[in-house]
Structure 1
Amino acid sequence: MSLNPQDMLRLLPAVLRIRDLAQAEFSPGWLDAADRKNYLELQGVLDSGGVLTPAQQQIYGAVRERGLAGPLASLIGLLAEQIAALQENVEQLYDDQFIETCADWVVPYIGDLIGYRMLHGVTPAIASPRAEVAHTIGYRRRKGTVVCLEQLARDVTGWSATAVEFFQRIVVSQSMNHIRPQCLASPDMRNGNALERLNTAFDPVMHTIDVRRIASESGRYNIPNIGMFLWSISSWPLTGSPAISVDSRRWRFHPLGIDQPLYSHALPIVAFSGMSKPINVPEPISRRVLDAGKNDYYGAGLSLLLYELTGGTVTPVPATDVCICNLSDHAGTWAHLPTVNGKYAVDPVLGRIGARVDLPAGTSLAVDFQYGFSAPMGGGEYDREAETADASAPANLILVPDHHAHIQDAIAALGAKGGVVEIRDSGRYEEALAIAAPANSQIVLRAADGYRPTIVLTAPLVIGGGEQSAVRLNGLLIAGDTLTVGSGGSNALGVLEIAHCTLVPGIALHPDGSPVHRQTPGIDIDTPGVALTIRQSIVGGIRVHALSSANAADSIIDATDQTEVAYADHDNESAGGALSLVNCTVVGKIHARTLPLVSNSILMARLASPDDWTAPIVADRLQEGCIRFTYLSPGARVPRRYHCLPESADTVDLGTPHFVTLRYGSPAYAKLDRSSGDAVRGGADNDCEPGVFNAVAGVQREGNLRLRLSEYLRVGLEAGIFYES
């Protein structure tokens, strides 16, 4: 039966339809979708004072005629509406029998039928319970297999993972009926590649039995043991980045000219298709591995690639012209520099390049490579589409290097109306910059999505503006000097926003990654009324005028040492303006007028010996503000605390965070070490770790995996979780 009310009306006797039409009035609700659309368009023309063309008048008259409905037609329309609702309900009841089509409220009931247990939705694969309930059948079919365990680990943690059956790597007495030629009691000492993997997830060497329990993560090689290996540090790309020259023969991959390990680009693996291999996980590339598998790591779209830039021509260096060497320091230069024409030497451990002997004068090098870090923050080529997708096209958009080769020229070209300067490459720009935002307007200096330019300042970056003006920086790596908001009488800048940027702690770095200027701040605001906002960024020390304010979220403020000043006024000692911190890690001393809110953060500071400061963390107004779920160094003088560390832990040691490293440039920079107690690793208000990596939710990811392992392990087996990074 048709649910079209016009069709239903035609089923009635003609006499009833004629009588109903005599009492009919125009009703837009009686029209079908196409007629209703035409009516609204034509009526809009009439309402605006327009005149319909003859063709439009004909359509308008026909539509109004079809829209005539009497009392009986209106009743039939109401019945049709209710029948349609009933039919839709019946169809939905059928759809609710399937997880792919059921209503949202049905998902938990279907999950309960198959014994599904809810997880923390901290990764894309399990963010939707519907998807995971749908996948549960696939998991159950493979329950107990090592391939299933590995796939589960990848899905519920969102990290690269592999599963290892340790009983396959135990030295056993051989049976002549079941010979295992790979189970050699003594390893081949001439196989360097195998020995390099010793005690890792991909260790091919057989071991003697270990009777300690794997659940305590101390024992490994025993018959019931399964090891789940996780890589919590991911690899992030940098493409078309200029290599930094030490001299004509020596170059470095990193655009700041520091030694940094190169990481492998983790190639994706099809679900349930097999076990992960080293090329499927993000790990530092060793010299032996790169030498043995150059075709897997070197090339376009892989882990690294060299280019020669000569007179505007970009030429990729073929793999046959690249050899892998140890380019460590030796006798005032580097060891093993190439001596053959046309050959390059690459050291992936130090991130160094030995250039060819016959490199033409004026030729520079560019590189594609991967570096390691724990999360998408600071300057990077990760997805920032939400930051760069404007709701409407900017009235004034200047592109670098498309419109101007230099950033300062692009800023000057914006003129008196402000606008956006967008950098569309991952190049290196060495220049002096000054930004002056017009009154009631803004200037945005940003990297395009998918790029991370490096700006090396040759002088302080001077920022200013008129009344109610704003300057916004996004997606940049800035080194060389300080961002300065001067105290000039005409400077009335209202907002300075720094998002997804890295302002190198210590201004510049030595080749070993140590800071050059430890006591020089990264941001210096010496004018009142400025609201500084920092999001998902890494910055050095901050100096803020007492009548300005700073608000940081999901960021690192690193003064390069706990005894240096992370936050204060321009004189490095007086109180800076109001400071708010959410999900931040701060290294260095703090002196603020007020701390309105400090939440889920780690404040690492201590007094030097001697020191003019009376406490490592000081707020002048103790009656204003709140500190919650935050670690505070001993001796801090702050407003009221709620559930802060180390007080909320059983002992001071269990409530003190320990970091893998606090040196910027290291892959594990600002990452909590697993030796930190549970009180620290779950010390935030969402049971995650406090600090900058709160959103990573490492504790929840690990908890998800433990919950699933208890469900999918074979009877009698026991699993342990090991972090490869």
Structure 2
Amino acid sequence: MPSLTAERDARLDRLWALLPTIHRRRDAETNGGLRALLEVIAEQLALIEDDIGQRYDDWFIETCADWVVPYIGELVGVTVAPGGDPPSRRTVANAIANRRRKGTLPLLERLASEIAGSPARAIEFGAVAAQSQSLRLPRHLRGRTVDLRAPPSLLADSGSFDLRAHSLALGGVAGQRRSADVELSVWRLRAYPVTRAPAASLEDVGPHVFGFSLLGNDAPLFVNPDGGGTGAAALPVRIDREIFAAPERAPAGFATAAPELWGTRMVDGREMVRSVAIWAPGWPTAKSPGTAPIPAERVIVADLEDWSYLPPRDHVAVDPLRGRIVFPPRQFPRKRVTVSYFYGFSADIGGGEYYRPLSEQVGGTRFKSYSWVASEAPDGETSGLLTRLRAAVDRALQRRFRPGEPGDFAVDLALVDDRLEVSFVDAETRRPVARGTATDRLHPGTSDQARINAAADQAVARFPPPPDVKRVTGAAELRKALEPWGPTLDDEGDFAAAADQPESEVIEITDSDVYQLPIRLMIGEGRTLQIRAAQGARPVIRLADWQAESTDSMQVAGAEGARLILDGLLIAGRGLQIEGAVTSVTIRHCTLVPGWSLGPDCDPKRPSEPSIMVIDSRVCITIAHSIVGSIQVNNDEVATDPIRICVADSIVDATGVDCDAPECEALGAAGARIAFAESCFVRSTVIGRVMTHSLTADDSIFLGRITVARRQLGWMRFCHVAPASRTPRRFHCQPDKAEAEAKAEAVADPLPPEEIEARLAWTRSAVRPRFDSLRYGRPEYCRLAADCPPEISAGAEDGAEMGVFHHLRSGRRLASLRTAVDDNMPAGLTAAILLAD
């Protein structure tokens, strides 16, 4: 079967093949203008044929273009909510099948998954309504009223899992249950795995005490929805003590772990964790191998709020609500305790075992997009040859084109000693990144298209090879892999980069272990180092107190053209310190713990310390899909230009309770000064004050006051800006827009000045963002609350929410779900959609 590239080249050359041989020969003897003209015509003809083919594909929902999906949805009767998104391909494809199941509870749960992208549970109110049983047909499985003599029943699950009998609200008051109604509970949080990671030893409490979260904070455990459970064990819900406990109590009277949530199971020959598991080699006896998890019958479900409960011998106590573990004080493990569990969060940011696209360097096999360098072409035959070479190089590059990252690049080509040279240059700095040179010579008058295509293939094929990938497991292997990238002493006794550094290298960490070691990097000129987590891994880089005489941060220095990429890492204990002539530092899907480390209640231990510190460096910092603490820039404002900081789909958290307090500084310089940086924020949430040289921002939330030195540069669009901020031009920002509307109403209805000011103050407070939590480490971290004003939850340019979770489009999806549920309910029945978490 021919490749797509070969088929494309054949289509471009077919008109040329139709010409008589005499005309092709004469054209080859000249400058090949006729062939070039026919190639242009054939290319346009191919576009027309592709368009006709796509029109045939548009007849079917499986193959149609994205813009056709809403039109097919209209034909099959899919209703679009006024404030919702257009129907997805999956929703339209299942529209007729769903209509046949109209009025069933499984359909409502399926609609929540298709439209809102969230799991749900539907329950009919009539099934839990209190009513007198018929003696002719008793229903023993119906819920009964609360038994005040049985305290455990008072702790039963609420919401969709509360099957106790309820009295009727005949008036139909909102929020109360009514016969024949349906409640659809939707879970917005997702369950993310942590596999075979070491448990945190909480020595402040005792050597027998551990925590599931390696940061030492209380982290509730979540159910693995794919763990094979049923009911609540099939949804990403918090594991409370009632869900976690087995139905039958142990002979000693305590509750043990439920088998459907504890331990492992085999799936397609692989060992998979159900929801929670603990491995403790050498426990309960010294000869215990620890290859299998602790059995469920040895796990006691307990409340460990004050650490007062002590399990009996040969047992371990687990508090799933807090993620705490307690062994017997006289029988605690002497070896490493390993855990697997699931934690809750809203989206795929900050790193984890979720799938993320891995970035590759230019020169490998992955290009994102490119443009051509605008340069003045020479005259004469060389100009015509370069034009044809450009088309040939474009075709050669398309063969290696696949969607991916690392960014946009520009392509330049030239004839050097009659050899084609193709260069990739950075689109911003215009510095060369990769270069390939053909082996065959091409004279300016060359018109042989075959030789031109061969030269283009040779030049593109001679780009530098993909970067070496060193896969490491364990701190010793990581330390050895980083040795060539550490600083050395030159002849003058100064620190310098090692001479044997490769041009580009990837160090990939393959497990979710803790790597506690000092890291000092010195990257050579034009060299690129990427430290990343493998797919399905979440390694933790823990920077501890290694030396008392200097800082223990992760230090990065380098020469001109040095680049560092951090991908999929969790860095705790210290921050990142950048010095020297490093060109760029990219942080993707990483977490630099705000406040360096956490206490039990998720309070930061070092709230005023920055996660990223720049000292006399011209580095360009890019932060994407990450969580970081504050950023501090300490550069010379006279001898250098401002550095560039780009933050996209991320959280910058200064950890302060009062975002306008002096210590709550998300971006700035030492001494509460303005950071000498050109800052850009896109779809991000910033907790703390921002003080920067210039600023551009879109669809972002700023909870602290903003101070910009050069207000004539940049803009702010569709953002929330704290009052009394000094910013560049603002467009459709809050509370400006709400205040303008309030002032317009005041003009129409004359009011005293003091009442106008009071109304404006109320307006500013009414549109302030409200969050479920602003503490890193909690599942609801930086998620907008259900009662957040619509000016924020639907205030982005496209009608979605502002901030880091803009891409989830939660509000628009819920609006579409409400419309779909109403359309699929039987006549006379209503459904209530509740947010379960």
> CA 1:637 to 1:313, structure 2 compared with 1: closer, same or farther past 3 Å?
farther
Aligned-residue offset at 1:150: 1.5
Q: For residue 819 of structure 2, what is the aligned residue in structure 1?
A: 707
1:287 aligns with 2:372: no
Query: Aligned partners of 2:298, 2:566: CA distance in 1, in Å?
Result: 38
Equivalent residue for 2:536?
450
The corresponding residue for 2:295 is 319
Pairing 1:416–2:501 present: yes
Q: Secondary structure at the match of 1:463?
A: strand
Say if 1:99 and 1:688 are closer, same or farther in 2 by CA, change over 3 A.
Answer: closer
Aligned to 2:77: 115
Inter-partner Cα distance in structure 2 for 1:511 and 1:481: 18
The alpha carbon displacement at 1:100 in A equals: 5.0
Deviation at 1:368, TM superposition (A): 0.4
Q: Distance in 2 between matches of 1:599 and 1:29?
A: 52
Cα distance per residue 1:347-366 (max 9 Å; x no partner): 11111112356758741111
- Hey, what's the Cα distance between the residues in 2 that align with 1:618 and 1:286? 45
Instruction: Show structure 1 runs of 5+ residues with no match.
Output: 1-25, 31-80, 270-274, 606-615
Q: Deviation per CA, 1:289-343: give whole Å up to 9, x if none.
A: 212261111112211111124699752223245322335254xxx22222313x2
2:542 is paired with a residue whose SS is strand
Partner of 1:484: 577
In structure 2, distance between residues paired with 1:387 and 1:212: 58
Task: Say if 1:525 and 1:570, in contact at 8 Å, map to a contact too.
Answer: no
The one of 325, 331, 335 equivalent to 2:308 is: 335
Q: 1:583 aligns with which of 647, 662, 683?
A: 683
Match of 1:162 among 84, 105, 121: 121
Alpha-carbon deviation of 1:185? 5.8
CA distance in 2, matches of 1:345, 1:174: 42
Distance (Å, rounded) in 1 between the aligned partners of 2:161 and 2:479 = 50
1:3 alignment counterpart: none
Cα distance in 2 for residues equivalent to 1:252 and 1:89:
61
> TM-score when scaled to structure 2?
0.68
Residue identity opposite 2:681 in structure 1: L
**Partner residue in 1 for 2:365:** 391
1:279/1:395 Cα in 2 relative to 1: closer, same or farther (>3 Å)?
same
Deviation at 1:191, TM superposition (A): 5.6
Deviates more, 1:410-419 or 1:238-247: 410-419
> What is the rounded CA distance, in whole Å, between the counterparts of 1:555 and 1:592 in structure 2?
18
Q: For 2:97, what is the secondary structure of its paired residue? A: helix
State the AA in 1 paired with 2:177. Y
How do 1:461-476 residues align onto structure 2 when only pairs under 5 Å count? Answer: 461-476=554-569
The aligned amino acid for 2:295 is A
Structure 2 residue corresponding to 1:602, chosen from 686, 701, 708: 701
Question: Distance in 2 between the 1:233 and 1:446 partners?
Answer: 26
* Equivalent residue for 1:559, pick from 654, 677, 691: 654
The 3 A distance-change label for structure 1 pair 320 and 133 is closer
1:577-615, Cα deviation, whole Å (9 max, x unpaired): 1111001111111110111x111111112xxxxxxxxxx
The AA in structure 1 aligned to 2:185 is: F
Change (3 A) 1:321 1:96: closer
Which of 708, 713, 723 is the aligned partner of 1:619?
708
**Structure 1, residues 22-58: CA drift from partner, whole Å, max 9, x if none?**
xxxx99969xxxxxxxxxxxxxxxxxxxxxxxxxxxx
Residue aligning to 2:668: 568
Moved more, 365-374 or 300-309: 300-309
The answer on whether the counterparts of 1:603 and 1:633 sit within 8 Å (CA) in structure 2 is yes
CA distance in 2, matches of 1:618, 1:472: 30
- Choose the corresponding residue for 1:235, options 178, 187, 191: 191
Q: For the Cα contact (< 8 Å) 2:684–2:700, is it kept in 1?
A: yes
Letter in 2 for 1:383: Y
1:299 to 250, 254, 263: 263
Deviation of residue 193 (structure 1)?
6.0
Cα deviation, 1:513-567, whole Å, max 9, x if unaligned, reads 2111111111000124111110011000101235222110011100001121110
Partner of 1:7: none
Give the whole-Å Cα distance in 2 for the aligned partners of 1:517 and 1:308: 32
Alignment partner of 1:379 is 2:351:
yes
What is the DSSP-based 3-state SS (H/G/I as helix, E as strand, rest coil) of the residue aligned with 2:92? helix
Q: What is aligned with 1:259?
A: 218
Relative to 1, partners in 2 of residues 1:178 and 1:513: Cα closer, same or farther, differing over 3 Å? same
| 1:396-545 equivalent positions in 2, closer than 5 A | 396-401=468-473, 405-413=476-484, 415-417=500-502, 418-458=504-544, 459-486=552-579, 491-544=580-633, 545=635
Residues 101 and 429 from structure 1, CA distance in 2 versus in 1: closer, same or farther, beyond 3 angstroms?
closer
Range with greater deviation from structure 2 (468-477 or 223-232)? 223-232
- RMSD over aligned CA atoms reads 3.3
Distance 1:190 1:351, change over 3 A: farther
Instruction: Give the CA deviation at 1:700.
Output: 1.4
**Any conservation in 2 of the 1:654–1:678 contact (CA below 8 Å)?**
no
SS for the counterpart of 2:616 is coil
Distance 1:510 1:318, change over 3 A: closer
Q: Go from structure 1 to structure 2 and tell me whether the alpha carbon gap of 1:673 and 1:100 turns closer, same or farther (over 3 Å shift).
A: closer
* Residues 617 and 636 in structure 1, CA contact (< 8 A), matched pair in contact too: yes
Distance 1:313 1:627, change over 3 A: farther
The answer to whether the Cα contact below 8 Å between 1:476 and 1:500 also exists between their aligned partners in 2 is yes
The corresponding residue for 1:549 is 644
- Distance change (3 Å), C-alpha of 1:120 and 1:450: farther
Tell me if the contact between 1:555 and 1:583 (Cα under 8 Å) persists in the aligned partners: yes
Q: SS where residue 346 of structure 1 aligns? A: strand
Q: Percent identity?
A: 32
309-318 or 298-307, larger mean C-alpha shift: 309-318
- The whole-number CA distance in structure 2 between the counterparts of 1:103 and 1:646 is 39
Residue identity opposite 1:115 in structure 2: G
Q: Is structure 2 residue 155 aligned with structure 1 residue 196?
A: yes
Q: Which amino acid aligns with 1:142?
A: R
Distance in 2, matches of 1:585 and 1:250, equals 35
2: distance between equivalents of 1:105 and 1:602? 31
CA distance in 2, matches of 1:103, 1:689: 27
Output the CA distance in 1 between the equivalents of 2:802 and 2:581: 35
Cα distance in 2 between the residues matched to 1:575 and 1:700:
37
Structure 1 residue 278 and structure 2 residue 254: aligned?
no
Change (3 A) 1:100 1:620: closer
**Residue 572 of structure 1: CA displacement?**
3.4
Structure 2: any 5+ residue segments left out of the alignment? 1-13, 19-44, 247-256, 265-272, 367-464, 486-499, 545-551, 743-762
Work out whether 1:348 is the aligned partner of 2:448.
Answer: no
Give the length in aligned residue pairs: 615
* TM, length-normalised to structure 1: 0.78
Distance 2:826 2:650 in 1: 42
Corresponding residue SS for 1:144: coil
Label 1:211 to 1:634 Cα distance change in 2 as closer, same or farther (>3 A): farther
3-state SS in 1 of match to 2:833: strand
Deviation at 1:256, TM superposition (A): 1.2
Shift of 1:442: 1.0
SS at match of 1:630: coil
- The amino acid of 1:539's aligned partner reads V
Give the conservation status (yes or no) of the 8 Å contact 1:503–1:522.
yes
Q: What is the aligned partner in structure 1 of residue 175 from structure 2?
A: 219
Higher mean Cα deviation, 688-697 or 166-175? 166-175
Shifted more, 628-637 versus 175-184: the winner is 175-184
The corresponding residue for 1:144 is: 103
2:410 corresponds to: none
